[in-house]
Each structure stands twice: as structure tokens, then as C-alpha cells.
Structure 1
Amino acid sequence: MKASRVLQKTLLVSLTIVLVGCVATDTSVLAPQNIKKTGPAVAPVSAPASSMHLTTTQTMDFIKSSDDKIITTPSNPITLEKIMSHPDWLGRQPEQAGWVVGQDIVRFARKREGSPVRDFFTISPTQPKINGELASLELQHVLTSADIFTSPDQQFLAWLYEGQLLVMEQSTQVVKQITFAHQRTSNLRFLASGEISYQVENAIYATAPDTLATRLLFSWQFAKPPVPVKPAADYIAAEQIKLIQYIANKRQDRAIVAENKQQLIAKNDFTSTTAFYFAPDARLAAMSISPDGKWAIAATTPKTQWRDKTDIMPHYIQEDGRIASKEVRRRVADAKPRNDDLFLLDLTNQVKHPLSYSVLPGFNDDVLASVKEENAKRRGETYTVNRLPRDITLFSSWYWNEPPIYWHDTAGEVGIMLEAWDNKDRWIVTVDLAQKKLVPQHRLSDPAWINYAFNRFGWLPNSPALYYLSEETGYSHLYVKPVNSEAYPLTEGKYEVDQIVVSPDGQHIFYKANKKHPGIYEIYKVSVDGQEHLALTDLHGMTDFVLSPSGQHLLLTHSTMTRPPELFLTSSARLEKPIQLTQTVSEEFLALNFAAPSIVEIPSSHVAEPIYSRLYMSAQALEGEPKPAVIFNHGAGYLQNSHMGWSGYFREYMFHNYLVQQGYVVLDMDYRASKGYGRDWRTAIYRQMGTPETQDLVDGVSWLTQNANVAVDKVGTYGGSYGGFMTFMALFTEPELFQAGAALRPVSDWAHYNTPYTSNILNTPDVDPIAYERSSPIYFAEGLQKPLLMNAPMVDDNVFFVDVVRLVQRLIELEKEDFETAIYPVEPHGFVQPSSWLDEYRRIFKLFETHVK
């Protein structure tokens, strides 16, 4: 379809233009005026009154009047050398934003220019100063602490610094160090007694923060418990005991001494050396003590070898000129099922009670029966349904680091999150302390896999009620579940809820969500009864928050498509104009006038929902001959990049502006599997990674040719990590779609990737080899017809260098010609050296100039 017919189409396009204060946006890379808006209207931002550079995001038509001046040649041309140089030149944005220990004083870190050192700064909300005051070295141990614990009487704070325990009295601000061990301290919590409990090696201690008096609460060992009088091991030993009085007397003496010792321990707490014994072949997965110090939950897991002797990575560039052998993680193909054992420890009576999983709904369901049947049929076998107990573990998502065990501070309840090894179930349970058994509270099942991103949960402070996130409706939403009652939702709709925080008074829960638009994240709060809903920001773009210790303030980290993150301060009570706290973007960056892409909704040929995408094109793109184009494939698979905030792919954002300057149109698609669009969008790739995403790329190319004046035979693609995998799949399975592709740090065979990520989507190779063969590019390499560039870092402990090595050998054996490999000997998965970034993107640009443009 010719560009002149765009206005006749029913498809409308959402155009997002970012206006940056008085700094003119370079209109040469804005979408042209006859691409029109669609979707929800976006209201103007409530901009901070004190901002030096006010940022406004609007959805609007770009209409050129006779007075408009279209900029076709930027006054400061973008260069690869600049955008791939060390990112210090962007301005060194705030990091580790939070609050000073126990105070409503903002703290954040900022990289020192030209140095790896981070300096900390503080800002008072009552007298805010842009970019804050440099903190003294004496405050560093306070400012770097993320997890801070408060005593029940609010008098003391405790936190870890460099693995050691520190406490501070609020009234005097005096800091005391409690632990000095070579071993790291962990597992902090304040007990109801006011003592701070903590773990050092295999023991839990409690210390009074005022007197520093310390006592051992209990310890544990992974060994068989000592027995003073063991039964006879065999016939000969039994006869020895019966016939020799000397032996019988020694056994009797040992029994008397042991009994006397137990009596002393029972009568004198200060002599207690209580130890619990767990299986010798196990290790600790978690230990959590109750606030009253009477109970603990322990989880142990098999002490399996985490890696094999072959799980190594050679590092060729070393100071001594030799080759170093680095240990790396094992492959999913080598993963073994794991089952955690769960125990309730009665600290008063020194008794260990196993907690059975048999009460869990679906405990012995054969959830992979259809998968196993399909694979068995391919082998010519018949599969019989197996209802043996499933392997179950504590929920241990690598995506977030919150504990899977939560005690209620006052109600004597404990909540535990469990997951099935097969990734199809997540349970939240409590423990009946009297009956010594688990009580199921919530089950989340998914025939594909349980999302690792939305699993936060905890207790409301004022009642024995759990709050949690669940995808049961198809989107992540917030629920409250009283222990003895039914759960009820606090949020609902076609949007994602994340980052939940309970207010100090327990009356509200704060959260982040994309209610307005899939690519706009704002901050909201809801009352725990669900009656009060309130938006607290109206900034558009991407916004995160940290609630102040008092609960009165929100520290916001906000960004737009053209501006990196800055800090803002606003009220937690109502919607107000935030106060801007930092202005760190450099004038050099602003002078280049990088332009925001449009957010377009590309119709899908396979599902009802559109494919949200970022579109980069010049104001003159619809004029003249059809243009060349590039489609960028973001990494991580489950990641959202077509949002209205600053992209983690900031170099690519600048590179795409550069490509537009060179005459290209660029499309950045949130293909199926991307984050932010609900459960069905996420799980479309179950057992078929690369198929739905490539279908979306086909729709993307079709849309570009019909709506953006792009030549169908002048489109290239590139991406890194998962995006590199997608480049492989597109070139191998749709060989006519792209004229060339660049795969950066790419996955070529999923059996070589890690277990936590891959087994979610493809199960494991021993159970579901069909899924791995269906999803791994190395099985489709014979389809390569167009030029392929592979850029491979050699010290990549995420996607191993061997992924490229094996694929290169496969291409050689297939006698393919149009491929080349660039290796980066010192780079990990995410490049570090500016020279490597520059070399990589020069090669990518050369590939497109040679084979696409």
C-alpha cells in the first residue's frame, strides 16, 4: 500500500511526542504528520514546579503549520563514537535511591566522574536542594543499607554493613557494632522482647541492643544426632553387651550422664546448647524465627553438587599472561529435580516436627502428563499417568530477593510461599502451630509456568490477613486473604500491579501499575478494605517509588523516553505536583536533541491484542522512494521496552536516532513474551520459543511496508541475548523476511542455558526434548540464506561463548557462506569497555549499510 493511502486505513497510530522544556525536540526524527493517534488520551504531566527542565509527555497529532520549520539536518550530528563512549557523559544519574536509616531524609548514590567510586548524597524534604549535599564518610555505613529493621518500641534500628550487624538508638543516634565475626551475619529480625536475632553460621543468637547482652537461641547441624547408648549393631555386639559386665556398666554410665545433662538444660536456660539435627546430605535453604522466640521454620534442601567439573569458562586475557579457568553455572540439561524438606522447630521443648506437603491441593497431580505423552509418542512408547508426589521447594525466584517465609509481628501466624519444581504451581500456606501442619491459603496454577515476577506477599500489620500478588485473572493484581476467610481483590483490570508496599499504619497498600496505558507506569494506593483508590502521580513515562519511614513521603524515580531517571519527592496522601530533587542530565546530552519515538499499535495476525512498538522515523520518511528499515529485538524475553520511560537499552535508543539520521526507519517491538501485557502475552512462547515472536516480526515488516514507506526488500534486524536468539530464528525460519541480521551474545541452544529461566518455558530436556528442538536455532541453521553477523563475548557467564562456537561449526558443516563472527575476549554478557561497544555497533551499522540500505 502506498504511503498516500495511509489516511484511508482504519488503523490509527498512537504518536507520543516528548516536549522538553525550552529545548527544541529534533523534529527530523518525529513521526510524520499523517500518522494519526489512537488509543487512550494521555493527559499532560503534573510537572514539578521547581524543575529546571520541565518534562511533558503528550499523545497528539503532529500537525505542521505554514510557520513550522522542519529540521532536516541536526545542528549537532549524532556519532557512533559519542553514543558508544563511556556513559559518564550522559550525566551520571542517581542510583540506590532510598531513605536514611529511620529518617525522612532522602539518600542516593551517584557515580564519581571518571571513577568507579559511588558518592552518597542526602536531601531534606523540608529544605530540598537540587542534587543534595555530599554525605560524610562517617555516614556511608548508614546510607548504603537497604534493609533496615525497627524494634517493637521504635527505639532501635538494626541493619547490616559489610556483613556485620549494626544497631542505632533513635534518640541518641549512637551506632553500635554487635558482630565482629569473620563469618557474615544474616537473617535479622527484632523479637517481641526487643532483642535483635541474627544468624552466624549454623546458629541463631539474640542481643539486647541497649546492654549488648547476647545469648544463643539455638543451633543446628547436618549430622546424625548423638546417641549416648546406641543399639547393638549386630549379633556379636549384642552378645558382647550381654556377656561382659564392664561393657554394660559403661553404657549405663553414659545414659545417666546424658539424662542429667538434659535435666540441667531444662532447668537452666543459660546453660542451653540446644541443637537440631538435619540429614547429613542436606544443607539449609531457609531459617526463620518467630517474633516471640518460641518457634522457627526451617527448610533444608539436598546437598547436590551445583556444578560439574566441565562447567568452566576460559578467560584468556589475564595480568599474568596465562589462561584462567572460571567456574560457571550448570546447564539446564544437567539439572536434577529438587525437593525441600520443611520443619517446624519447637524451641521451648526442643522438638523438630516435619511439615508434610500432602495437604497441598494438586500435591500429586501429573501436571506434565500431556507433555510426557507427546514425547513418548514420538519415541514410539505409551505414557501412563503417574500420580507420585511432586517435588516442592520454597519459592526462590532469582527475579526478586524477598524471603519466602513471613511471620506476623503480633498474631502468631507464619506465611510460607512454596513452588513446584515443575513450575506449574505456587502455594501460599500458613502453619497450624498446635497441630504441627500446613494450612493451604492460596493456590496459583498455570498450565504454562508460574511467573517469577509477581510473587510478593506478606502480612497486614493490624490483622491476621495475608496480602499477595496473583496472575489468576490473566494480569498481576493485589489480593487480601484473612486467614479464616475468603480472599478478595483490591485491584482489577487489564493492567499489571507490582512493587507493593504496606503503609506503616497498615491501612493502605502502595503499588506501581500501568493503568493508563501499557507503557505508562504511575504510583497508586488502595485501602486494605478496597474502598479507597487514589492515584498519587500523573507523570507519565516510567515511575518507581520508595515510601519514607514515616509513611508521609514518596521518593520517586521518574524518567521519560528522552530523559534518564531523576529523583522527585511527593506526598503519600494525595496527588500533588512533585518536587524535583536531582538534575543530573548533562548539557552535552541535551544538546544532541535526541527525539522520542512514537508508540504504535501494530495489528497482530495471530491474536486479538496489538503489538506495542517504538517507531523511529524522520518527518520526511513518507516522501520519495521506499526507505530501508531495521527492527530491533530486545533481550530478556520477558522484558518491556516499548514503554514511555527511559530504556535500559539507552545505547540502542541513541543508535536508533543515529540510524534515522542516516535515512533508516527503526521499529522496536514488544513481541509476544514481553512484560507488561498480561499472562497470555507472556506464555504464548510456552514450548515454542521463537515461533510467536517471529510471527510478530513478520507483522512488523508488513506494517512498515504499508504504513511507513519502507521497502520490503530493505529490512534488517538485530538484537542481543534473547534478541540475538530471535535474530537467529528469524533468519533461519523466515529466510526472506530480512536482508541481514546481527545476533549479539545470542542463545543458539536452550539446553545450554540456565535452569531457573529455561525450565519455566521449555520444561527440562529429559522431560520435553521436543520443546528444546522446536525452540533452539541450531536445529534450523540450514535455513540461513542472508548475511549473518554474530558478536560473541568470550567471558560471558550468562549465555556461554560455546553457543556461538557450536553454531559456527554447524554452519561450516552446512557449507553456509554469508556469516561472520566477531569475538570480544574481555567482555561479559553486558559489555563494559567503550571500545568494545564501538566496535560492535560499527560492525552492525556496516552490515546494514552493505546489505540492507
Structure 2
Amino acid sequence: MRRLRRLLLVLLATLAGAFAGHAQDTAAPPDLAQVMADPDWIGQAVEAPYWSADGHQLYYRLKREGSAIRDLYRVDPARGGGVRLDAAQRAQADGPPVFDRAHRLAAFVRHGDVVLRRLADARSVEVTRGAQAAGALRFAADGSALYYRLGMDWYRYDLAAGVSGPAAVLKFEDDPDAPPRDDLARDQLRLFDTLRRQRHEREARRAEEDAERAVDPSRAPAPIYLGKAVKVVGSELSPDGRWLALVTEPKDYAAGRAPLVTQYVTPSGYAETREARVYVGRNDPAPQSLLLVDLRERKPYPVSVETLPGIAEDPLAELRAKAIAAARAAGDEARAKALAAPATRPLRIVFDAEDGDGAGLRWNEDGSRLAVMLRANDHKDRWIAEVDLARHALVPQHRLHDAAWIGWDFNDFGWLKDGRTLWYLSEESGWSQLYVKPLDGEARALTAGRFEVSHPALSADGRWFYLRANRTAPYSYDLYRVPSGGGELARLTTYQGLDDFVLAPDGTQVAVLHSSPYVLPQLAVVPAAGGAPRELTQTMKPAFTAQAWIAPTIVQVPSSHGAGTIHAKYYGPATEGSTSRPAVIFVHGAGYLQNVTLSWPTYFREQMFHNLLVRQGYVVLDMDYRASAGYGRAWRTAIYRQMGHPELEDLLDGKAWLVREHHVDPQRVGIYGGSYGGFMTEMALLRAPGAFAAGAALRPVSDWRLYNHEYTSAILNDPQLDPEAYATSSPIEYAERLADPLLIAHGLIDDNVLAADSVRLYQRFVELHKKNFWISLYPLERHGFQQPDAWYDEYRRIDELFDAFVKRRGMP
């Protein structure tokens, strides 16, 4: 009887498993509400991996379910099995480490405080305990100290004494004992004995303190006076502790008038306002200068940029002359003077994304040399120069010029281990490639070809560069390495969707983040010389992975305007029919972004929505139009002074391809996108009326004069200098052409693309007596929507728009 009961239980369990498996295989596809729900139902992306100081563990972060908090996890790279760390374990966890040159010591930041560890016995010392987070850790070149930064102030931890103190004391005021600067000040000292005695007392006290410091190194350094007219926005201390390189801006530089963003739904019940960013051209970013401070002599030296090749040239001279002539013709002499070119082009130190302090400054390992990357405020030139420490002057090493604009990416640079050779990324060949250049020699390319190289990382022994590249196809990214002395570029992974990587401290392994169209970034390790990867995480949820998602097919759309091939993702049914069908073209945002890849997409919700559209009978095309990332400099800069024009040509070619290859009805093609994609939706409907049956423009730019300076002035120049480019590129200038249904959706507290953009265009349509246009405003959403309710409402409206005006067009 007992045996029969066991058999019945086994049979029931087997049947239950079979039914469960069948239910999973035939699970109902998600509806729109599920697609737009909180993405926790999909799983969690592995974020920010790094190695422990001893290289035996990997740490990473995962978003906590139902919260924005990121939990810290630890995993053994040899065996896997990641575990979430509790509060007590986090209090003992490593942060991303740095090492001394002998690799005997490591240092890292834990919860904002500096921790020093001796690798031989894993003994740790807490160096700081404060409210301000530390950063920019580095060991002294001679191994005597650990340097770190709090804000813009540098500190030195003496390894032998176990004591911390300021590495430099900077005073942003005038030196009270500086020689008198003018006759009035000199007369004060001549006329008044009291002022002379006070000055002599200060000088005597300073001399005594200097003498004490000379024999007592434990004393804090004397202050260095930099004057009250500047502020520091970036700083880098030399590894030998001798020099401090500072990036400064004028302290009282006017920021310009900022528009206000109004929030109507508030906890207080009252409407509240706050400032957004300044409009393009309403005032240029503050010019920056490089200041070299000799900490031994306590003297600051301004570094002149006059030696930079082309610094005195005006690449916008023709446009400037035209704008000045127009101002004078209008009788506006004040404007004509304002447009005159300065004698020297204002510069900025290229932003350093790794350190996040705004300073593109790089010391070599022993602190004997400093390199700096600078960019002209007109975006046409980028320079890399060595700083001659003895002469306090720049020695140019490389100039990258672009008649359009220097790209935002591919600005990495640094030193090889010899301390005399620079490495850098450059688009000078038309594609981002890796170069090395001895200070007294010619530059040499380590990589070459019609592909893009990024994320270069030099191995600890200096023998190899590891990098991310799309060598096999524009949409396929993997990990590669190349000898730093030159040689073969070797492919180390075959994921085709490599997102990022981190080298192990001993250089034998690489931790990689990889993903695919329906798999969030996951963590694996691969041998540094290449080999089979070991997968360490699987963070996807069964509710998502059980779905039969449509794998996007990467297709090549021929350009009818001589641009070559436009890569796109096509979503369609498994079996093609011969009947006419409707289509939707999706336009990705950001302009300079690549959405046609084999990685997890930025627009993952839209990808799921495309699955829903296919189930409703549509086909969908997602294109990397000109201006997209991943296809070289010419593809990026094709939109210079004409945003919305080459891209529209590509979108129309995409529509023609759908009609030709997939039986799409040319009268039933819709278009939609957000941000830059919303801008392009408006340009498509307004510049090519009748080409698309309907469009949905989400958080769109409708007038580029209302966008920010850094992005817009690169592509369209300054609006006062180049008004034609703005008129050519702004949808509001074509408002009278609206003939097709247009839905506009915008977050009311969007502080990136302001809601005023959409409201102004809406009012223009009202005054033009246009029909079939709607606006949907979301009171609690910014540029990137956060609330599932808002996501659902927005896409419900898009779905209904396409159903009414695309899918059912021509039907009774």
C-alpha cells in the first residue's frame, strides 16, 4: 500500500511538472500594462563590477527589488555563487583598489573613507573617518605616502608615521604680504608706521614658521595664495608630491539667465519652481586655465596656451564675418562687436569621466611629467600637450581638428610605463583608433580599420592594451587586446554584446559584462590571454525569459543619397505573407547613440512594445540613422548645421525598404521616438508631409535655441553666429506644413528638454488652425519617465494613435 502511494505521488508530481512546463511554454504574452510595468519583473542588470584588493573576489551591484537602492554582492570568480552582503559584511568589503608600484600595498574607498591594506597579511588601516567622501587615491612614487582628495583639497597619509595631513593648503584670497601693486598701496606703507610694523611682524612670523617647517616635516604646509578671482574645478597632485596641477575658472563668471521648470503636483499643494540649464548661446561656458603650483617653493605659475598649434585661428571666421555684416546692416553695432573673435580662443580642459572632476590631467608614474588634454570652446580642436615643469609651458604633442566638431567620446589618454610615451584615442582616420607617441618622436597607430575602439586599459605590467571594439561588424562588440609596443589586435571574447570589462590586479583574468537583446548585462571572467569564459551570474526572471520574444534581425538598408549602408533592426512575424501590412519606424533618442547592437538595448521597453505591434499585424524597423554612434566620424558629423535632414533621408529610405522587401503599404507607415527621436518624428511629419500616416513625438526638441550649450553648439554653432543652422534644424520653423496626425507627449518637470518646447509648438499649431494634433503632459515626470502609470498611459496613446491612423487607414 505504501509502495502504491509512493507511485501515485511520483505520478502526480510528474503530471504537475508536465502541466507546469506546458503552462510556461504557452504562457500568454504580456500585455501593454505588463510591458510598461516596473522593470523589476524582467530581472536586474549587473552593475559596476570590480576586483577585490587581493584579486580573489569580484564585487558587483544589483538594484534591489522595489527600490532604487543598489545592493553589494560578492562572488568567487573560480566557483561562482554570488551572495548579497549584509550591513556587517559591507562594512568589511573592499572598494575598487589602487596599488603601490611594488604591489605590496593597496588602498580603496569604503563608504567614503580611505582604507589602506598590506597585501602580505591582509592587515587593514582606516585612514580617514569623515562626512566628506574621499577620492583620487594614489601612492607616492617613492612609496612613502598615500595621497587622497577631499573635494578639491589634497591630503597625505605618511605610511611610516601613520598620520594624515594636508598635502597643500590653498587660499583663495590675495596674499596679505605680497609686494604693493600700485602707488596708493605703496604710499600707505610709506605714510603709516602702524601698517609698516604690522607688515614686518607678519613677515617675521612667516619666516619663523618656515624655519620650523624646514626641520619639522610634521608641520602642516604653509598656505599658498591663489587670489580671490578664481575657483578650482579640477586638480591632480603629482605622485612625487612636488606639483599640484589646477584647472581654474573665473570665480564670478556670469552663468546667464536660466529658464524655470514648474512642478504643479507637489507635497505642499503649492506650485513650485526651480532653475533649469541655460539656453544655448545665452552665454558660453566659463573659459578655463591651467595653473601649476610648485608646492616646494609655494608658487603658482599660470601655464600659457599660446604654443598650441591653431590656437589663434578662427575656424568660424566666414560665419562670423557674415553675422557681423548682418548686425551692422541692421544698425546693431553692439551686437557686431560682441560677435568679434577673441585674440585667443577660449579653452576647456577635456572632461575626465573616470575621475569625474573635470580635469583632463595625467601624471606619469613617478610624477616627472604631466600631460593635459584641452578643447577649444568652439568644439573644432582638441590638443594633447606635455607641461614643461621647469618653464611652466605647454609642449604640444597632438592636435585633432574637425571642421564639424570633436566627438564627445574617444578622448581617453595617458602614459605608458616608460613615462615618456603617451597613448591616446583619436578619430583622425575617420574612426576611433588607439595611438602611441613618444614625446620626442612620431605617433604610431596600434589599431587601424573601419571600426571603433574604446575603453582602452593598460595592463599592470604595461605590455598590453585591452579594449572594446566592433571590428567584425558595427553592431557586434567584443573584448580585444593589442601589444603596447605594436602587433596583432587579438579578439578575446565572442559575445558580440560586450558592454564593459575590468582587469584583475594580477593581469591574468578579465571580468566582463556582456548582454544580448533579451538578456540584461551579466558578469563573467575570461583568461587575459583569451579562452573559454566562466559565467558568474544569472539575474533574469522566469516571467521574462519564458516569453517567446521576437529576435530582431539586423538588416542593411541601402542609402539612396550616397551614404552607404544604414544598419537597422527589423521585427516581423516568423512567416512572411504576401498581403499588404502596416509598419512602424522607431527612432532612437540621444542622436549620438547606437541602438542597433547585439547588446541589451537602452530602449528595452520599446523593444517589448515592438513585439506587441508585430502581434497586432505591424512590422517594425529601428534604424541607426546618420548621427548615430558606432559608424565613424563622417556618419556622426553628417548632421553638422543641418540636424534632421540626413536623418530624414535615412528614415525615408527605411520606409522604401519596408515597402520593397516586406509588403508594407506605403500609406500605412507610422513613426515615433523620444528625445532626439521625438525631434525626428516632428521633422519627419513637418518636412515630409504625407510620407507617414501618423507620428508620436515624445519629449521632443522643437526649437534648438532652447536646448543646452554643450550639445547644441557643437553641432549648430552659436545661434547668434549661425542663425541659419538653427532655422534649418528646428521643427517649429516648419509648423505650417503639418498635415498628418501628431501626438506630442512631454513630462512637465523635464529639465533636459523643457516642456516649453512642446507647448510653444502646440501654440503655433493652434494659431495655424491645424487639425489632428494632441499633447499629453505628465506632471510628475522628467525627461526619462519613472512611473509605470505614466509609461502605460503614454504608450496606450501611441498604440491607439497607430491603430486609428496607421493600421485602420483607408478602412471604413
State the 1:470 CA deviation: 0.3
Residue 113 (structure 1) aligned to one of 38, 62, 65: 65
- Superposed, 1:55-204 pairs within 5 Å as 76-129=28-81, 132-140=82-90, 145-146=95-96, 148-192=97-141, 193-200=143-150, 203-204=153-154
Does 1:467 find its partner at 2:423?
A: yes
Tell me, in whole angstroms, the C-alpha distance in 2 between the residues paired with 1:370 and 1:400. 38
Offset of 1:377 from its aligned partner? 5.5
Report what 1:499 is aligned to.
Answer: 455
1:153 to partner: Cα distance: 3.2
The letter for the 2-side match of 1:629 is: A
CA drift of 1:417 comes to 0.8
The alpha-carbon deviation at position 828 of structure 1 amounts to 1.6
Task: State the shift of 1:630 in Å.
Answer: 0.5
**SS of match in other structure, 2:165:** strand
CA change 1:723–1:560 in 2 (3 A) is same
Please state whether the residue corresponding to 1:88 is helix, strand or coil.
Answer: helix
Shift of 1:682: 0.1
> 1:228: Cα distance to partner?
6.9
The alignment status of 1:535 with 2:491, answered yes or no, reads yes
1-side partners of 2:757 and 2:772: how far apart?
A: 18
Cα deviation per residue 1:732-752 (whole Å; 9 max; x = unaligned)?
A: 111111111001111111122
Match of 1:333, SS state, is: coil
Structure 1: distance between partners of 2:163 and 2:353: 37
Q: Which residue of 1 aligns with 2:291?
A: 343
Shift in CA distance, 526/398, structure 1 to aligned 2, threshold 3 Å: closer
Aligned-residue identity in percent: 39
For residues 787-802 of structure 1, the aligned pairs below 5 Å read: 787-802=741-756
Q: Are the structure 2 counterparts of residues 256 and 557 from structure 1 closer, same or farther at C-alpha, using a change threshold of 3 Å?
A: closer
In structure 2, how many angstroms separate the alpha carbons of the residues matched to 1:163 and 1:416? 28
Tell me the amino acid that sits aligned with residue 799 of structure 2.
F
Q: How does 1:793-832 map to 2 (within 5 A)?
A: 793-832=747-786
Q: How many Å separate the matches in 2 of 1:86 and 1:144?
A: 31
> Does residue 319 of structure 2 align to residue 319 of structure 1?
no
Task: Choose 99-108 or 746-755, whichever is displaced more.
Answer: 99-108
| Matched residue, 1:222 | 172
- Please name the residue that 2:664 is paired with: 710
Match of 1:835 among 786, 789, 792: 789
CA distance in 1 between partners of 2:258 and 2:432 (Å)? 40
Q: Give the counterpart of 2:534 among 561, 569, 579.
A: 579
Change in Cα spacing, 1:827 to 1:571, as seen in structure 2 (3 Å) is: same
Q: How far is the alpha carbon of 1:385 from its aligned partner?
A: 8.7
What is the correspondence of 1:479-498 to structure 2 with a 5 Å cutoff? 479-498=435-454
**Structure 1 contact 430–438 (Cα < 8 Å) conserved:** yes
Which residue identity is paired with 1:771?
A
Structure 2 CA distance for partners of 1:110 and 1:186, relative to 1, 3 Å: closer
What is the match of residue 21 of structure 2?
Answer: none
Aligned to 2:477: 521
- Residue 270 of structure 2 aligns to a residue in which SS? coil
**Distance (whole Å) between structure 1 residues aligned to residue 298 and residue 354 of structure 2:** 36
Following superposition, the deviation at residue 210 of structure 1 comes to 6.0
Amino acid at match of 2:463: Q
Verify the 8 A CA contact 2:235 2:246 in the aligned structure 1. yes
1:291 aligned residue:
239
CA distance in 2, matches of 1:637, 1:768: 20
How many Å separate the matches in 1 of 2:450 and 2:181? 65
Aligned counterparts of 2:317 and 2:498: Cα–Cα separation in 1:
42
Secondary structure of the 2:321 match is: helix
Deviations, residues 354-407 of structure 1 (Å, cap 9, x unaligned): 211001001111111122234446557599995721111211267994851111
Superimposed CA distance per residue, residues 446-476 of structure 1 (whole angstroms, 9 cap, x where no aligned partner): 1111111101111112442111100000000
Structure 1 residue 175: Cα displacement: 3.7
For 1:564, what is the secondary structure of its paired residue? strand
Are residue 739 (structure 1) and residue 685 (structure 2) matched? no
Counterpart of 2:11 in structure 1 is: none
Residue 615 in 1 paired to residue 570 in 2? yes
Instruction: Return the offset for 1:180.
Output: 3.0
- Mapping for residues 290-309 of structure 1, pairs under 5 Å: 290-304=238-252
Q: Does 2:401 align with 1:449?
A: no
Q: Deviations over 1:307-357 (max 9, x none)?
A: 556533222222232223233222223232532121221122222222110
Instruction: Give, as a single letter, the amino acid of the residue that structure 1 aligns with 2:234.
Output: A
CA deviation after TM superposition for structure 1 residue 250, in Å: 5.6
Match of 2:726 in 1: 772
CA drift of 1:267 comes to: 5.3
- Distance in structure 2 (CA, Å) of the matches to 1:479 and 1:442: 11
Q: What do residues 533-553 of structure 1 show as CA deviations (whole Å, max 9, x unaligned)? A: 321012223443221121111
Amino acid across the alignment from 2:386: T
Q: Which residue is 2:14 aligned to?
A: none
Corresponding letter in the other structure for 1:347: L
Cα distance in 1 for partners of 2:308, 2:181 equals 38
Using the alignment, how far apart are the partners of 2:109 and 2:716 within structure 1? 39
Q: Name the CA shift for 1:657/1:255 in 2 (closer, same or farther; >3 Å).
A: closer
Gaps of at least 5 residues in structure 2 are: 1-24, 330-335, 808-812
SS in 1 for 2:480: strand
1:694 and 2:644 matched: no
Residues in 1 aligned to 2:682 and 2:93: alpha-carbon distance in whole angstroms: 45
Instruction: Specify whether residues 142 and 328 from structure 1 end up closer, same or farther in structure 2 by C-alpha distance, changes over 3 A only.
Output: farther
Which residue of the partner structure matches residue 658 of structure 1? 612
SS in structure 1 of the partner of residue 378 of structure 2: coil
What amino acid does structure 2 have at the position aligned with 1:90? I
What residue ranges of structure 1 are gaps of 5+ in the alignment?
A: 1-72
- Asked if 1:366 corresponds to 2:314, the answer is yes
Identify the residue that residue 681 of structure 1 maps to in structure 2. Answer: 635
- Larger relative contact order, structure 1 or 2 (CA cutoff 8 Å, min sep 6): 1
Residues 693-735 of structure 1 deviation map (CA, whole Å, 9 limit, x = unaligned): 1111111111111111111110110000000000111111111
1:120 aligned partner, one-letter code: L
| Contact in 2 for aligned 1:634/1:668 (Cα 8 Å) | yes
Name the residue aligned to 1:274: 222
Over 3 Å counting, the alpha-carbon distance change for 1:304 and 1:773 in structure 2 is farther
Distance 1:380 1:247 in 2: 54
**Given the superposition, is the C-alpha separation of residues 632 and 252 from structure 1 closer, same or farther in structure 2, using an over 3 Å criterion?**
closer
- 1:153 partner letter: A
Return the letter of the residue paired with 2:565. Answer: P
| 1:407 counterpart letter in structure 2 | W
TM-superposed CA distance for 1:304, in Å, is 4.3
Match of 1:546 in 2: 502
Q: CA RMSD in A?
A: 2.6
TM-fit CA distance, 1:241: 5.8
Distance 2:160 2:189 in 1: 55
